[in-house]
Amino acid sequence: MAALTESQVDTRVGKVQVRLGGEHAGRPVVYLHSATGEGAFLPFLEQLADRVDVVAPAFPGFGESEGIEQIDDMEDATFHLLDLWDQLALDAPAVVGLSLGAWMAVELATRYPERVGALVLVSPVGLHIPDAPVGDIFGRSPGEMAEDLFHDQSHPMAQLMHSFDDYRSDPARMGELTFEMVKPVLQSMSATARLAWDPYLHDPKLRKRLHRVTAPTLVVRGAHDTLLPRAHAEVYASEIPGARLVELPDAAHLAPVERPEALVELVAAFLEGDGS
Amino acid sequence: MRFFSFHLMPYPALPDSYDGPAWVTVPNELFDPAVGHEVYNRYLDELVYAEELGFDGVCINEHHQNAYGIMPSPNLMASILARQTERVKIAVVGNALPLYDPPTRVAEEFAMIDNISNGRLIAGFVVGGGPEYYSFSINPAHAREKFAEAHDIILKAWTEPGPQEYVGKHYRLRFLNTWPRPVQQPHPEIWVPGAGSLETVEFVAKHRYAYMGIPYFHISVFDRMFKMFRDACQQEGYEAAPEQAGWLCPIFVAETDEEARRQYEEHFWYFVRRLLPGITINPPGYTSLRSYEGMMKGMGTFALSLKTWEEAMDGVYAVVGSPDTVYEKLEENLARLGTGNLLGLFQLGTLPADQVMPRLRQRFPDGEPMLDPALSKGAA
């Protein structure tokens, strides 16, 4: 697996962490992470970097990236991505986004279609679909969340999330939780709240703009995703021109975490074909 | 020392079969309007009675869609109290400013209460509890910014001639020109309740308002909270006055310690085990990381973790006992905390009517009635 290198990029909102990997010809791939802020450690990215060049920024408010206090909503987020693209001399990269990151990618692709060369939307939020509500991410315990996010509850990240509930279920043990233990989650969820508290995980104007996407688009969903109903992936796939939908078995909401090999194959094949 | 009678106006009739949170998602089918009619009127009577007993003031507060306190609009209650009392201060502690849009509404309603009561309002401003941000779908990441802007708008409305323009990030008012203006000039006394977040403490210190410590923690958490506040005042270049701090505490007096416990304990546990669950939900972005780190130290001592009556008494989660015991404990802890306002909760949980007003009439050993002159002497 190709190791990724850390670097920092100056943007208008502050320094942003970016991980880079691969030395390949062809379109680079930008990976936009989800509300969990995965990406600091994600074998998926290293495996993907064996096939294509990978650029994985941490959004402001996640990891060490600065400037979330200057970003109030998804519109600000979109403009931040444009700035980042310019700083990194990315013209029209392929974008692979997970959940919140996929939503961000679509916001960019509807407004500035010429800056997105290919689009892979994994478990994309961003839409409100009547009778297909998205599960709650802001009021539930980590253990409850893990049930929705993972097909395999024995995955190390799922196990970690369940372990937090052991503290929460016993108020007396709350005192054993240290700030360092909860800081990454607090930080990631605070940043996510800025973008997605209200309207909850969607942009009411996004759906009517999906027709503007010009990039070849692949929509991926985990077959066991209980957070995000299948209807969301279906709407994206049917209303983005030419998009298609693939369902990954043995995965729930976080396919890049749970099924990295299968997803790398899907993405690489897509980029070599439609998305090249 | 000023003495206030504080009422949360709890819902006392959650069915035994319900064991979920008392906040945000507690099904509103559980609310029985017949109970509502009875307790709203009874609770108002209990507050009005405080004036007769010699209290300096009464306190009410604001919470939404919950069983802990069925007072989504404390301003409605305050306007009733403004008519039914003649002397006491009416402290609304407070209005959750980010929940009023535009916040001009707070300037208007508070000024109305101040007019009707002829200058007896204490104006409380609060950021709003964590659950409120779920209940009203207001972005918690904007809570502090909205609170600060709303505060500026209200103060401008009260103290600067209108019409004027206000342009902020969250609120824009082309013609800010509030009618009526408050009786108290330049503005009513301002209180801010808080649970120890650094932002709130610094805000109160900066504006020289009064900080009211929110209860249900071990007394040591109050030590830390009020020390933080005094330190913040020093940072602003002055010493905090005792009147700038208030301690909110459940209080119950009976003939003996044993009798007090016997009559009070089940109602205390209803409050802790039925009404507190859900209150601690902390929406992301509501508390800054630096505040959260400090507040974590107290979290393990929140009343929800109480297992025994002895723990509750040792940690001063409530002051309960004979007149001697209550007198000594209040005196000791008021001195310890250095607060110049005592906000007593004399009704808690399911505590029934026949245990509230008669207990307030309880006489201390020197023959003085509950609280007013007796305690003033002791704690001054």
Indicate the length of chain B as a whole number.
Answer: 380
Q: What is the DSSP string of A178-208?
A: -HHHHHHHHHHHHHHHHHHTTTTTB-TTTGG
Give residue B225's pLDDT band: very low, low, confident or very high (50, 70, 90): very high
- On chain B, the residues whose CB falls within 8 A of the CB of A72 are 142
Inter-chain residue contact B134 with A175, CB threshold 8 Å:
no
Looking at the complex, report in whole angstroms how far the Cα of residue B113 sits from the nearest Cα belonging to chain A.
33
Residue B363 has pLDDT above 60, yes or no: no
Show residues of chain B in contact with A180, CB under 8 Å. none
A198/B139 touch (CB, cutoff 8 Å), yes or no = yes
Mutate which: B199, B272, B296, B306, vs A, most A CBs within 10 A: B296
Which phi and psi (to 5°) does residue A30 adopt?
A: -95, 130
pLDDT at B55 over 70: yes
Dihedral sign computed on CA atoms, order B98, B103, B109, B110? positive
Cβ(B75)–Cβ(B109) below 8 Å: yes
Assess whether pLDDT exceeds 90 at residue B377. no
Residue of B26, B218, B280, B293 to mutate, interface with A, max A Cβ within 10 Å:
B293
Query: What mean pLDDT, rounded, does chain A reach?
Result: 94
The DSSP result for A91-126, as a single string, is: SS-EEEEETHHHHHHHHHHHH-GGG-SEEEEES--B
The DSSP-derived string for B82-101 is: HHH-SSSEEEEEEEEGGGSS
- Write out chain A residues lying below 8 Å of B141, CB-based: 190, 193-194, 197
Question: Among candidates A238, A179, A190, which has minimal Cα distance to B130?
Answer: A190
- The candidate with the shortest Cα–Cα distance to A245, out of A261, A224, A230, is A230
Strands B245-253 and B89-96: unpaired
Helix (H) or strand (E) holding A15: strand A14-21
Residue B25 pLDDT level (bands cut at 50, 70, 90) = very high
Q: Given an 8 Å threshold on Cβ–Cβ distance, is B289 in contact with A198?
A: no
Contact criterion met (CB below 8 Å) for A85 and A32: no
Report the percentage of chain A scoring pLDDT > 70: 96
* Distance, CA of A51 to CA of A260 (rounded, Å): 13
Q: Name the E strands within chain B.
A: 2-6, 57-60, 89-96, 121-126, 164-167, 172-176, 190-194, 210-213, 245-253, 319-321, 341-345
Which residues in chain A are closer than 8 Å to B301, comparing Cβ atoms?
175
Contacts of A204 in chain B (CB under 8 A): none
Is B48's pLDDT higher than 50? yes
pTM for the whole structure: 0.93
Residue B378: predicted pLDDT: 39
Q: How many CB atoms are closer than 10 A to CB B237?
A: 7
User: Which residues are bridge partners to B96 per DSSP?
Assistant: B126
pLDDT at B196: 84
B299 vs B263, residue with greater confidence: B263
Q: Which residue has the higher pLDDT, A41 or B369?
A: A41
In this predicted model, what pLDDT tens digit does every residue of A257-270 receive, in sequence order? 999 999 999 999 99
The answer to whether B137 contacts A190, with C-beta atoms less than 8 Å apart, is: no
ipTM score of the complex? 0.91
The whole-number average pLDDT for the span B161-168 is: 97
CB atoms near residue B380 (< 10 Å): 9
The reply to whether A186 touches chain B by the CB within 8 Å rule is yes
* CB contact A171 to B (< 8 Å): yes
Cβ B285–A189 below 8 Å, yes or no? Answer: yes
Distance in Å, alpha carbon of A33 to nearest chain B alpha carbon: 18
Is residue A106 pLDDT above 50, yes or no? yes
Shortest distance, CA B300 to any CA of chain A (angstroms): 4
> Is A198 in CB contact (< 8 Å) with chain B?
yes
DSSP state of B310: H
Whether residue B364 has pLDDT greater than 70:
no
Q: How many CB atoms lie within 10 A of CB B307?
A: 9
Please report which confidence band the pLDDT of residue B168 belongs to, taking 50, 70 and 90 as the band edges. Answer: very high
Q: Is A200 on the interface with B (CB under 8 A)?
A: yes
pLDDT digits (tens, 9 = 90+) for A129-171: 999 999 999 999 899 999 999 999 999 999 999 988 887 777 6
Contact A192 B284 (CB under 8 A): yes
Nearest-CA residue of chain B relative to A168? Answer: B300
Give Cα A142 to chain centroid, integer Å. 18
Residues on chain A touching B138 (C-beta within 8 angstroms): 198
pLDDT exceeds cutoff 80 at A172? no
pLDDT, position B27: 98
Does residue B369 carry a pLDDT above 60?
A: no
H/E element, A248: strand A244-248
The two tokens of residue B348 are 């808690």
Q: Please give the average per-residue pLDDT across B344-372, as a whole number.
A: 74
Quote the minimal CA–CA distance from B15 to chain A in Å: 23
- Structure tokens, A220: 């991926």
**Which residue of A lies nearest to B281 if distances are taken between CA atoms?**
A139
